[in-house]
Structure 1
Amino acid sequence: MSIKPETDARQSLPPQAVPVLLVSVFLIAICGILYELLISSMSVYFLGSSILHFSLTIGLFLSFMGFGAFLSKYCSDEKLLTLFIHTELYLGAIGGASGIILYSAYAFDVPYYLVAFLLTGCIGSLVGIEIPLLTRLIRLRFPLKDTLAQVLSFDYIGALVASVIFPLVLLPHLGLMRTAFLVGLMNIAIGAFNIWVFRALLPQINRLWLSVAVVGVVYTFAFWQSPLVNRFFEQMLYQDEVYYAERSAYQNLVITRWKDDLRLFIDGNLQFSSVDEYRYHEPLVHLPMLAVPRPERVLLLGAGDGLAAREVLRYPEVTEIVVVDLDPAMTKLGQTHPFLRQLSADALNNKKVKIVNEDAYKYIENGTSRFDVIIIDLPDPNDVSIGKLYTEEFYRLVQKRLAAQGAVVSQSTSPFFAPRSFWCIHQTLEAVFPTVYAYNANVHSFGQWGFNLALNYPQDAEAAPYAQTLSKRLAARKYPLRFLSPELLPTLFVFDLDTQEVKTQTNRLDNQMLVQYYEREWERYN
């Protein structure tokens, strides 16, 4: 193979090269932001704590971009085109594999943070090299002020496009791993386009085309087969067989199966096990329902699986149940999947049930109708987007939607594993409602789990007398429950010595103390 000497770019860069290079700036800006979002999102998916991981990833990425920009000064002007194309090929190869690298690190118990740090460093440094190289190339045809204006304009517009298409298009329709392969292919395509346009200026062009062909074919095949690859790694993440998996616009839904035990996971977090879910849903639902003389209208925030609605439907006086769940994929799963329909007694398809796919905060804030019972069955407050649904401001809005003699209950994480988080929710509710009772139940899949019952009217300060009242009401109902009995009910209000109340700050929108408590406490067990 003959290798022609590289031509001096200063003398030979054609005028039509500038539009090509500016389009390259636009596209590499999109790719750079997408890599940043991919690494951040995967870290949140595996480890939670969105603020921490987005902040760390953005900070490290920008720092390594600065390092890459510094290294670019050692690149000679005569080899700018070759170096730029090599950078694109390296970036496409490493960035395209970022999804499978991070999945592998987490699934095979390799130090995840070390892998994420090295990956961010490599990608960030390569992205940092790109813009200086292109700026120097375009400067050969334009004054510096015009070059900087054009390069930065295209770069910032590309960043905007990436930040819009990632949450609205790529993540919901392709998922994380397939998006990574696609972005890698974009970098490879940028390199290939520049090889073709500047083929007369490049030495060893056959080697460049071979690199493009190999990586392009491999990643195209990987993109096509990524559902199988993703399913393989998801199976590695769960102990049991993955029975169902779907990446929605908001979250990752997985159902696993082992014999008769089917489990629902959302973003890797267990939501329930079919073996003992009733130990969670019966205390969650029946205590607030029993607290209201005649509960006719019930609001469920979350609970898109239909299991809480199943328990509410035991009350014949109920005329309407509104289920507010942000993710239509979750409620559709609850309405259509045979397993969930059987487990929930087809509750979400009951004529009394109305499903609203909307953010719970917005629904509470914008609505005007009142409910006798409000059941807050939301995920644990592991980031600020969920933490806002446990704030004093949110509870004041909830109170406005509650009937004068109404009751609200919130699942409140574990008083044993996360005592400060549990009692923070309790004390935040106390800042709003005249009466709040804490109670807990042993759910084998979760351990000791906590709830908080708030009444919209004054009641006995001590829990014991009120618990006896609820016990008598439950006995009168004579429902065929599997866990909750009139004899057991009063014991739910008793806390062990190691789960007694601790003083915390209330959770507000401007401090999100609950998220901080939660992350510190659960970190010990993750």
Structure 2
Amino acid sequence: MIKKLDIKPLIISIFIISICSIVYELIIAASSSYLLGNSIKQFSITIGLYMSAMGIGSYISKYAQKKLFDIFVLIELSIGLLGGLSALLLFISYAYTDIFVLVMYILIILIGILVGLEIPILTRIIESYNHELRITIANVLSFDYLGALIGSILFPIFLFPHLGLIRTSFLIGLLNIIVAGIIIIKYKSFISTKIFNYIFIACSVILILGFIFGDYSADRIEQNLYRDKIIYSKQTPYQKIVMTRHKDDIRVFLDGNIQFSSMDEYRYHEALVHPAMGLNKNVSNVLILGGGDGLAAREIFKYDTIENIDLVDIDREMTEFSRTNPLIKDLNQGSLDNKKLNIYNEDAYKFLENNTTIYDVVIVDLPDPNNESLNKLYTDTFYRLIGNHIAEDGVFVVQSTSPYYAKKAYWCINKTIKSENFHVVPYHIEVPSFGDWGFQLVSKKPISMEDVDVMVDTKFLNESTLSKMTIFAKDEIIDLNTIEINRIFKPVLPMYYEEAE
């Protein structure tokens, strides 16, 4: 038996497999967050179960006593194939079956166990060939932790935004297969199972084809998630934008949640914009937070007094899509190209912190609070920041989800705004593609919907609809004493919202 072993390929393998390990964890957590919502819950479950499974794998490794090179190659081939197919399996199970959660748990446990086997087996291989244990452990853990850091940076910055979940999983699976190939070639004299050569080739072909045709597979599966034909789909660094079409009905979805339908979006946007605009006859300076589709801006430009609109939407891809796509541009009437409108692609919270401009009206047209990253934009602190940016007789309005389907969430928003000593008028309308949808009209001074005077052309709003919007049925009202205020450090709103799903 040789006294020393060239461990450089093994150290490189540790670095690569640690990158793969963290990325598999992130792929599963991101997939479940995208499909099920509540990112904190999904990431917590994934991390906890994954780490436990790794512990099981580490425990099982003690029973491997012989043919350690063979065992390690088998582990890498298994992880590569299973991990490479993981995102595809998750999306297929969600689109075509009712067992998504079961499939997710099985994948987490199986991949976690296999990952838990890797480092103990490699450590024993290195240590077996006269390498001191203390040096072996130091080298193994150093490269393991470094690889985890690299993987955790690569996933959100490059892999997920540019490749998507399915192609990323195929690519990372291929890395595990490459590690198996390195071991097979470099240490062939230590490997007794010759069939590994053929398994390596087969797995490589499967994953390479999966990577090449990953977008096609994703498109086919994604189409099954939507009622109408998908005519546009793009993953941005912040969200997945999907546009569908059925005859004259154009619909835009963000992360699977409908943002508007061209058949009835005017109802939503007229109700969002005109009550606030109709309280002041001389509105000249307006801030829109969100509203990257340009539809709220379209309504605001109906007023001749408008001199400036600042639109803040974090996703540059969304505003550019809405500015250039012919179908959306036709809907928003080219509002995003208007010289009076300035687009700021930055976080709304940071914009308010760093900006000192005072506005006559602020339109808060943000996505529903269906994840923790959006929660800060529905907190008491956020509304306080908005208050610092409106004139003494200014108004702001907040889209507030459905008072029927998400009753607790709707009234939580209402109570949170009131906690900052604002005068709030809650109101709602029926939007066929959404259902019953609610808003909050807010001012520093007492206001009433009776004071609203809409002097521009509308398709939906009139005196009759305005007067009825503040009337809520018994099953849409809740005792505010049972609802907590939503704060940055105590985010209750996502919990209320999840209860409604």
Does 2:461 correspond to 1:484? yes
Give, in whole Å, the separation in 2 of the partners of 1:493 and 1:187: 59
- Which among 40, 48, 54 is matched to residue 65 of structure 1? 54
Q: How does 1:120-519 map to 2 (within 5 A)?
A: 120-140=108-128, 141-205=130-194, 207-456=195-444, 458-459=445-446, 466-470=448-452, 473-474=453-454, 477=455, 479-503=456-480, 504-519=483-498
Pairwise CA distance, 1:227: 1.2
Task: Give the % identical residues.
Answer: 42
Amino acid at match of 1:275: M
- Asked whether the 8 Å contact 1:64–1:121 carries over to 2, the reply is yes
Amino acid at match of 1:482: K
Pairwise CA distance, 1:521: 2.0
- Asked whether the 8 Å contact 1:433–1:455 carries over to 2, the reply is no
Amino acid at match of 2:5: P
- Asked whether the 8 Å contact 2:4–2:131 carries over to 1, the reply is no
Corresponding residue for residue 52 of structure 1: 41
C-alpha RMSD of matched pairs (Å):
1.1
Secondary structure class of the residue paired with 1:315: coil
Show CA shifts across 1:361-383 (max 9, x none): 11111111111111111111111
Secondary structure class of the residue paired with 2:233: strand
- Asked whether the 8 Å contact 1:433–1:454 carries over to 2, the reply is no
Secondary structure class of the residue paired with 1:450: strand
Corresponding residue for residue 108 of structure 1: 96
Give, in whole Å, the separation in 2 of the partners of 1:159 and 1:323: 38
- Which among 5, 9, 27 is matched to residue 15 of structure 1? 5
Amino acid at match of 1:15: L
Amino acid at match of 2:310: V
Amino acid at match of 1:245: S
Amino acid at match of 1:507: N
Secondary structure class of the residue paired with 1:155: helix
Pairwise CA distance, 1:265: 0.6
Corresponding residue for residue 8 of structure 1: none
Corresponding residue for residue 463 of structure 1: none
- Asked whether the 8 Å contact 2:22–2:151 carries over to 1, the reply is yes
Instruction: Report the CA distance shift for 1:25/1:15 in structure 2 as closer, same or farther (over 3 A).
Output: same
Give, in whole Å, the separation in 1 of the partners of 2:2 and 2:102: 44
Show CA shifts across 1:495-522 (max 9, x none): 1111124211110011101111111122
Show CA shifts across 1:307-326 (max 9, x none): 11100111111111111111
Pairwise CA distance, 1:432: 1.3
Corresponding residue for residue 32 of structure 2: 43
Instruction: Report the CA distance shift for 1:89/1:495 in structure 2 as closer, same or farther (over 3 A).
Output: same
Amino acid at match of 1:468: E
Amino acid at match of 2:8: P
Show CA shifts across 1:276-324 (max 9, x none): 1111110001111112332111111111111111001111111111111
Instruction: Report the CA distance shift for 1:130/1:485 in structure 2 as closer, same or farther (over 3 A).
Output: same
Give, in whole Å, the separation in 1 of the partners of 2:478 and 2:391: 29
Please, which runs of 5 or more residues in structure 1 have no aligned partner?
Answer: 1-10, 461-465
- Asked whether the 8 Å contact 2:70–2:193 carries over to 1, the reply is no
- Asked whether the 8 Å contact 1:12–1:201 carries over to 2, the reply is no
Show CA shifts across 1:57-76 (max 9, x none): 00000000000001100001
Please, which runs of 5 or more residues in structure 2 have no aligned partner?
Answer: none
Pairwise CA distance, 1:14: 4.5
- Asked whether the 8 Å contact 1:135–1:148 carries over to 2, the reply is yes
Give, in whole Å, the separation in 2 of the partners of 1:307 and 1:362: 23
Amino acid at match of 1:185: L
Moved over 4 A (4+): none
- Which among 19, 25, 45 is matched to residue 30 of structure 1? 19
Q: With structure 2 as the length reference, what TM-score do the two structures score? A: 0.98
Give, in whole Å, the separation in 1 of the partners of 2:466 and 2:107: 52
Give, in whole Å, the separation in 1 of the partners of 2:97 and 2:362: 41
Show CA shifts across 1:367-424 (max 9, x none): 1111111111111111111011000011111111112211111100100011110000
Give, in whole Å, the separation in 2 of the partners of 1:13 and 1:289: 83
Pairwise CA distance, 1:256: 0.7
Instruction: Report the CA distance shift for 1:120/1:101 in structure 2 as closer, same or farther (over 3 A).
Output: same
- Asked whether the 8 Å contact 1:300–1:374 carries over to 2, the reply is yes
Show CA shifts across 1:79-137 (max 9, x none): 11110011000000000000110011000123111000001111000000001001111
Give, in whole Å, the separation in 1 of the partners of 2:279 and 2:167: 49
Corresponding residue for residue 93 of structure 1: 81
Amino acid at match of 2:164: G
- Asked whether the 8 Å contact 1:387–1:514 carries over to 2, the reply is yes
Give, in whole Å, the separation in 1 of the partners of 2:342 and 2:87: 38
Give, in whole Å, the separation in 1 of the partners of 2:19 and 2:287: 42
Q: Which moved more, 1:443-452 or 1:215-224?
A: 215-224
- Asked whether the 8 Å contact 2:275–2:449 carries over to 1, the reply is no
Give, in whole Å, the separation in 1 of the partners of 2:147 and 2:162: 20
Amino acid at match of 1:146: I
Instruction: Report the CA distance shift for 1:13/1:199 in structure 2 as closer, same or farther (over 3 A).
Output: farther
Give, in whole Å, the separation in 2 of the partners of 1:133 and 1:219: 25
Give, in whole Å, the separation in 1 of the partners of 2:39 and 2:159: 19
Show CA shifts across 1:151-200 (max 9, x none): 11111111111111100000111011000000000000111011111012
Pairwise CA distance, 1:13: 7.1
Give, in whole Å, the separation in 2 of the partners of 1:434 and 1:255: 37
Show CA shifts across 1:306-351 (max 9, x none): 1111001111111111111111110010011011000110111111
- Asked whether the 8 Å contact 1:419–1:502 carries over to 2, the reply is no
Give, in whole Å, the separation in 2 of the partners of 1:152 and 1:312: 58
